[in-house]
Chain A
Amino acid sequence: MTVGADIPRIDARPKAVGETKFVGDLIVPGMVYGKLIRSPFAAAKITRIDARAAKALPGVITVMTGDDVLDIDPYYGHAIKDRPLIAIDRVRFAGEPVVAIAAETPEIAADAAELVEIDYEPMEAVLSIDEALAENAPHLHVTELLRKGLFHGLGEFKLDPGNICYHHQFGRGELDAAFAEADIVVEGEYEFPAVYQYAMETHTTIAEWNTTGDAAGDEVTLHSNCQHPFLVRAEIADLFQLPVASVRIVVPWLGGGFGSKSYTKMEPITVALARKAKRPVRIQNSVDESMVTTRRHGMKAWMRTGARKDGTLLVREVRAWLDTGAYADNGPRVVATAADAAPGPYRWTAVDVNAWGVYTNTSPAGSYRAFGASHLGWIGEAQVDEIGRKCGLDGVQMRELNLLEPGEYVRPGGKPLDADLKGDIRKVAQNLDWDAPKPPNTGRGVSVGLLAAGAHPVSTAFVRMEADGKVVLYVSSTDMGQGARTVFSQIVAQELALTMDEVRVMGGDTQVTPYDRSTGASRSTTLAGMAVLRSGAELREQLFDIASQQLGLPPEALEMRDGAIWHEDESLTYPDLIKAHFGMVGGELIGRGEVRPERGSGSYAEGPVFWEVCIGGVELEVDPDTGKITLLKTASVADVGKAINPKQVETQEMGGLLQGIGNAIYEEMLFDPSSGQLTNGSLFDYHIPTMLDLPESHRSTIVENADGPGPYGAKGVGEGALAGAIAAVATALGDLGIDLHALPATPERVWRAQQAARGTQQADTNGTN
């Protein structure tokens, strides 16, 4: 059995010895090096670029500006075509590429960048959500010129003039009546920071533009560390007016993704530079460049929740504004998902949710692991606990009372709840020793949430059995460290009764491996894994058919094990079967597997593929004098349906959880309020968790109820723990009476909230006297 076992990762050994090749380790013959000059201004007109000295520097191949891309329609964006692949006449954020240089070495390219002189005419910038929404605020984009991207995928494309790029609204029930019925109402304004995903490997792309001279025309090959190769392929083909088949995206192992490499990032500018240079070009970001390439959306929100005095939740109203920066990137989908997750997995009489995506003159925001669930989840969970405290129920009791049961609708239509959330909450509480006495200044909190996961359910896979009975698996999910290729190998080995060393799995290559919608939204095991399972099953059927003919027995009389088909003691190995089928030692059998929406269009509105469960548990201590948080215990529950590789599930949980802890306590991108420049654009100034930030203990539990739509009842994992951890930090602070309205929970914020709480307590006491 390979499924369900702690199979060591197929990539562990090559990574341990330093053999694994990432994009930045590849050298394409003739490759030259790109360097970008980025704008220091958040909003400005570009009035003059003098690159003569740079062009004259020996070793410089070419210098590209916005003027060089006017022969094509240079705007892209999978949701909204709002972004030129290089600044054209104006810049919209500090860090936007203005000039691209290609040179024989990275050093020459960097030297050449120093020789370029640029005149800017600074314009009024909007650097925050409030500034962007103010009356008479300058508009970042001319709304009439914006067009729908290739993968908008969120219903009607409709934009009003202004800085709003997307609005998502839904509601049900009678809001006012429900609030009138509520005995307890809590409400507040909240802020959630922009953060940097920090995949340790920065965005890196190598582009080759090949003038083939044949009837099929030019061909573009990219080696890129992208999560969604097929979506990148479509956008590159669209931008450069090439047939889709003429664009090839090859994806090696990735040094982390976390959403930062989803959709299209550095690929368009690299292709354009290669086209102009007539040489393969590599562009490799530095960390400070990747920080302004994509980030998580910062957010402002207002939420109020009403309940009966017995703790029964009745009604919730939410308004949220998400800062998508200068270009929409994945903003619309992040807005929709955040809104969707805002009510949480509770039974409501009425809800009303509005969320907007807002353009500002800051670096573009896109996907970050658990987007949507992390944004409003912690706020909703803090309000549930706030109500609990008013009616004498603890966090576990509140959730036991109000959580949805499996099979109940999370929202009207779509997928009903496919998880036992009450069971999950009990387990996380147990992992925290919920009923144990608490030392002074110690808070304990749990959280629960749901994340619409799976994205669009389209994945395909091929498995090819060679004459020696071994297989090659062709599947395009990107392995960015989550272990997808190991899990796929396990599934196909299971389906064909092979051992792990008899399976080779290909990395994504759009001219070789078949279509997969994307790698993200915890979909690889569930959807690409299902396609892999089906490809194995189809191949297995072929093997049974051949054996049935050879042995003159019906397939039902046969069984498959240990690389052969058996009838009682008689067996035919796979090489025997292939030889019998083709009449020679050669030929191959190919199995194909496909996943597509089983009903309806599979659109977002009808989804999700499954509800990813976000569960968190935190016990922390707060220093009453400084506000500093010390993590004592963390806990999580991975509700995964079926753990195909339990060890990998556990590592996804622990890694996600610590990212959540970083997000909750340390991380925040700071943009200078006057210049719009990122002021903590290095890992000196932007702290991600180190080993010193670990809690004293951690316990996670894997729940396997076989209630997912993936192979063997599996459903995705990897994002839930992140959102769960953020919310559990908020509820644990709430347990101490610290009502935080902005993250991260820095000592200063915690200390101030603590002082405010003491003041309120004082006032309350005075009132009773």
Chain B
Amino acid sequence: MSIETVPATTLPTELRTEITVETTVNGRAVTKQVEARRMLLDFIRDDLGLKGAKRSCDSQVCGACTVLIDGLPVSSCCTLAYEATGKQVTTIEGLSQNGVLDPVQEAFIEESAIQCGFCTPGMILAVKVLLEENPSPTREEIEQNLSSNLCRCTGYWNIIDAVERAAQRLREGDRK
């Protein structure tokens, strides 16, 4: 058979241009020079050292890298760091305050909704947004909303229970 060459490719230099990202992460103002191609996930994890968001599918399917931008969930693996400019970014590290856990985090612990924990930070942030938009979701609504957050360990049942428990606690908290 004949020889086939996998050739070298030329690097697009514009991606390596440095730009400035000015954003707020967990309430703290951050200004950093990064390559234009820097992804938000790498920015958070490697430039800011916040390791809670995880990389798995790297293609906006699994939800492990979920963070909030201005309160809405995004896949940080497929979002440029630059897109956070002028916005509020919340990561899992920003959810608990001075060691006091968010009711969603508490519910995940109490319902045994955590096994390996790799999906957990993204899942909890997605739940947070769901319950802000819909304080009393039905089981079907929970399933619809969280179907873009994968978990390979739990079989999801306990996560759904945790969402229901957190929803109840948040509603009771509102009444107090």
Interface positions of A (Cβ within 8 A of B) = 6, 8-9, 11-22, 24-25, 40-41, 44, 47, 50, 53, 106-107, 111, 114-123, 198-202, 253-256, 258, 286-287, 480-483, 647-648, 650-651, 654-659, 682-684, 688-692, 694, 698
Contacts and interface: CB of A to CB of B under 8 A. Distances in A.
B109 A16 contact: yes
Contacts of A657: 155
Interface in B55-100: 55-59, 61-62, 64, 91-93, 95-96
A27 to B, nearest CB: 9
Nearest to A198: B152
Given A16-B101, A200-B116, A682-B59, A688 B152 contact: yes
A254 B116 contact: yes
Contacts of B118: 22, 199-201, 255-256, 481
Interface stretch (B1-9, B17-25, B167-175): B1-9
B57 A123 contact: no
A129 to B, nearest CB: 24
B138 interface: no
B110 interface: yes
B119 interface: yes
Contacts of B1: 121-123
A15 B93 CA distance: 11
B156 A691 contact: yes
A122 B3 CA distance: 7
A256 B59 contact: no
Nearest to B91: A18
A126 B78 CA distance: 37
Most chain A beta carbons < 10 A, residue from B6, B110, B121, B142 = B6
Given A13-B109, A692-B147, A655 B115 contact: yes
B8 A17 contact: no
A47 to B, nearest CB: 6
Contacts, number: 195
A256 B150 CA distance: 13
A690 B150 CA distance: 6
Nearest to B51: A25
B115 A17 contact: no
Interface of B is mostly: loop
A8 B57 contact: no
21 contacts: A16-B101, A16-B106, A17-B52, A17-B96, A17-B105, A18-B52, A22-B118, A25-B45, A115-B9, A115-B11, A200-B54, A200-B116, A201-B54, A201-B56, A256-B115, A256-B118, A659-B152, A683-B61, A691-B156, A694-B143, A698-B155
Given A8-B112, A16-B120, A122-B1, A691 B54 contact: no
Contacts of B56: 200-202, 255, 287
B114 A15 contact: yes
Given A9-B112, A647-B112, A20 B117 contact: yes
A17 B101 contact: yes
A691 B42 CA distance: 28
B77 to A, nearest CB: 10
Given A24-B55, A40-B6, A286-B58, A17 B95 contact: yes
B3 A691 contact: no
B124 A16 contact: yes
A17 B109 CA distance: 10
Most chain A beta carbons < 10 A, residue from B64, B143, B150, B155 = B155
A348 to B, nearest CB: 34
B155 to A, nearest CB: 4
Contact of A651 (B42, B57, B115): B115
A648 B154 CA distance: 10
Given A17-B92, A658-B156, A683-B150, 5 more contacts: A12-B109, A202-B56, A651-B154, A656-B155, A688-B152
A66 to B, nearest CB: 16
A198 B1 CA distance: 36
Q: How large is the interface on B (under 10, 10 to 19, 20 to 34, 35 or more residues)?
A: 35 or more
A352 to B, nearest CB: 37
B158 A255 contact: no
B144 A692 contact: yes
Contacts of A123: 1
Nearest to B60: A684
B11 A111 contact: yes
A480 B114 CA distance: 12
A657 B158 CA distance: 14
A253 B55 contact: no
Nearest to B159: A691
Contacts of B4: 41, 44, 119-122
**Pairs of residues from A and B, 9 with the lowest C-beta to C-beta distance, nearest first:** A18-B52, A481-B116, A15-B117, A255-B118, A654-B155, A18-B92, A658-B155, A481-B115, A25-B51
B150 to A, nearest CB: 6
A200 B9 contact: no
Contact of A481 (B52, B144, B153): B153
Interface in B102-155: 105-106, 108-110, 112, 114-121, 124, 142-144, 146-148, 150-155
A748 B119 CA distance: 32
Nearest to A659: B152
A255 B116 contact: yes
A200 B56 CA distance: 6
Contact of B11 (A40, A114, A692): A114
B144 A12 contact: no
A648 B117 contact: no
A654 B154 contact: yes
Contacts of B116: 199-201, 253-256, 480-481
A331 to B, nearest CB: 23
B37 interface: yes
Given A107-B37, A119-B3, A200 B51 contact: no
A33 to B, nearest CB: 10
Contact of A12 (B57, B108, B154, B159): B108
Contact of B62 (A107, A111, A120, A683): A683
Contact of B143 (A13, A40, A119, A692): A692
A604 B38 CA distance: 51
Most chain A beta carbons < 10 A, residue from B51, B101, B115, B144 = B115
B8 A114 contact: yes
A16 B51 CA distance: 13
A688 B143 contact: no
Contacts of B155: 651, 654-659, 694, 698
A89 B138 CA distance: 59
A17 B156 CA distance: 19
Contacts of A688: 150, 152
B108 A16 contact: yes
Contacts of A682: 57, 59, 61
A689 B95 CA distance: 28
